[in-house]
Amino acid sequence: MPLLLVARGRFGLALTAALLAVLALPAFASAVKAPLAVVKSGTGQGTVTSSPSGINCGTSCTEAKANFLVETPITLTASPKAGSVFVGWFGCDAEPSANTCEITVYEEEEFTVEAEFNEIEKFFLVLEKAGTGQGTVTSSPAGISCGTACPQAEHEYLEGTTIVLTASAAAGSEFVEWRGCDAEPAGKCEITVDEEMTVEAEFNGIEKSPLVLEKLGTGQGTVTSSPSGISCGATCKAEYLEGTKVVLTASASSGSAFEGWTGCDTPSATNKCEVTILGETIVQAEFNPSSKPKYSLAVTTAGTGTGTVSCDGGACASSYEQGRKVLLAASATSGSSFFGFSGGGCSGTGSCIVTINTDTTVTAVFNANPSSTCATNPSLCPVIPGKARATSSAQAKGGKAMLKLSCSGGPCQGKLSLTAKVKRAYKTTSAVIGKTSFSLADGASATIKVKLISAAKQELDKGKTIRAKLTGGAIVSSTVKLKPVKK
């Protein structure tokens, strides 16, 4: 039991009463609180909350205040609204991360912390089309969709947004080039908006040139084209886009024979002619009267499989004039293979030209393919891809992060990305700080080097640890701490 000294006199009695009052206070009477105020500044919007609870300052709130236990650490968290960025704290004891503030209040005074949010600026990206042709240009993310009748389009994007533009030429036109892009991956235009910017896409019209078909000789016949245009007979001239490949087919009339071509790119022993249009082109086809005898051509098939045989690219006639050259080509149906020709001077598995000088029989052999399954042929078995997993921390040195990956469940192959918050021009933004490709066998482990952007390298050079999100198609998503290697 505590020793209580009692003083004499009126002063002594008052002192004794005061001591008794203190001793009678409950244990929680020492839980003293002090005020903490949070003030928001800047041109943007965001929320600030506290742990323990008390401060909950939403987007429309400019100042909030609450009482907290003295000498107890308080953590404030800032969350910017879409279109805004959190700039920084003022008045914190410490900043454990980019958007958190740690502070301890004391009884002697009121504490104030300022959280600054700024609005992310927007800039126009202007798309202009040039040239004599037509085409469309679209953007990702969406905003620009400039069709064939559109000479110019524009859209406003947040500062720092990377836009990919895709050009598609209309029929009769070709895409020529981009002007004003940061990069042109796979023929597309990539640009990052940091001011009002203009990109130009040029389309030019593809010129057309005439193909003229002239018929020579005293015989009769017709010539047709693929793609269509020539049907001579009636139409012996047509225009085609530059670079178009045209195949002409000659067909002799009864009592006439097709003698040959002049002006083809690819002369043929058959009745076909291939020509590429690169300016005005003239092709001649000669037909003459025929008094030659005709002989039969029989094309048969054999073997355990099935297939078809064409003559000069079409159906085979039952008879042809003496001296006529006929091109035979075999095509096996699904589940069968062509094993070769025999008869009529034909052999082997390629096309064959038969010269008709007598009644002729040609046989094409098709055999069924042997059945093959995954069990009998392991090369047919499907490959099941695996997933790569990274350790929770990785060293960083010389602007590169050394990620330790291990693969399981099958081969691991793909691309990975590191995303983190870094400071750029006094602003903290989330950005892809590194990308790379990787390939690991099932059960294998390796250290993968990832080159980092300069903003991340600067943070690491200051001795700071970066928490990065690791993602990828063949990756188990995780958070990795990038720790600078001490020099």
Q: Could you tell me the strand order of the sheet in which 84-90 lies?
A: 63-69, 33-41, 111-119, 84-90
The string of pLDDT tens digits covering residues 203-259 is: 998 888 999 999 998 889 999 999 999 999 888 999 999 889 999 999 988 888 888
Contacts 24+ apart (CB under 8 A), 367-370: 367/303, 367/304, 367/305, 367/336, 367/337, 367/339, 368/303, 368/304, 368/305, 368/335, 368/336, 369/305, 369/335, 369/336, 369/337
The string of pLDDT tens digits covering residues 393-443 is: 999 998 999 999 999 988 999 999 999 988 877 788 888 999 999 999 999
Do 208-289 and 32-119 fall under one CATH topology? yes
Top-confidence residue, 315 or 371: 315
Domain topology for 122-205? Immunoglobulin-like (2.60.40)
CATH top class, domain 32-119: mainly beta
Q: What is the full DSSP assignment across 128-162?
A: EEESSS-EEEEEESSS-EE-TT-SEEEEEEETT-E
Q: Which of 116-120, 243-247, 454-458, 483-487 has the lowest mean pLDDT?
A: 483-487
CATH hierarchy code of domain 387-484 = 2.60.40
Q: Where are the domains of the chain?
A: 32-119, 122-205, 208-289, 294-368, 387-484
CATH architecture of 208-289: Sandwich (2.60)
Report pLDDT for 17: 43
Report pLDDT for 210: 94
d(CA 65, CA 47): 14
Strand ranges inside 253-335, DSSP E = 256-262, 272-276, 281-289, 294-302, 307-311, 319-321, 324-332
CA dihedral 389, 395, 398, 400 (to 10 degrees): 10
User: Terminal CA-to-CA distance of the chain, rounded, Å?
Assistant: 62
Position 271 pLDDT exceeds 60: yes
DSSP state of 233: T
Residues 55/76, Cβ–Cβ less than 8 Å: yes
The string of pLDDT tens digits covering residues 128-177 is: 999 999 999 999 999 999 999 999 999 999 988 999 999 999 988 999 99
d(CA 196, CA 203): 23
The string of pLDDT tens digits covering residues 86-113 is: 999 999 999 999 899 999 999 877 899 9
Q: What angle do CA 176, 152, 141 make, to 5 degrees?
A: 85
Question: What is the average per-residue pLDDT within 32-48?
Answer: 94
Beta carbons within 10 angstroms of residue 119's beta carbon? 16
d(CA 292, CA 296): 13
Q: Is the dihedral of CA 449, 454, 456, 458 positive or negative?
A: positive
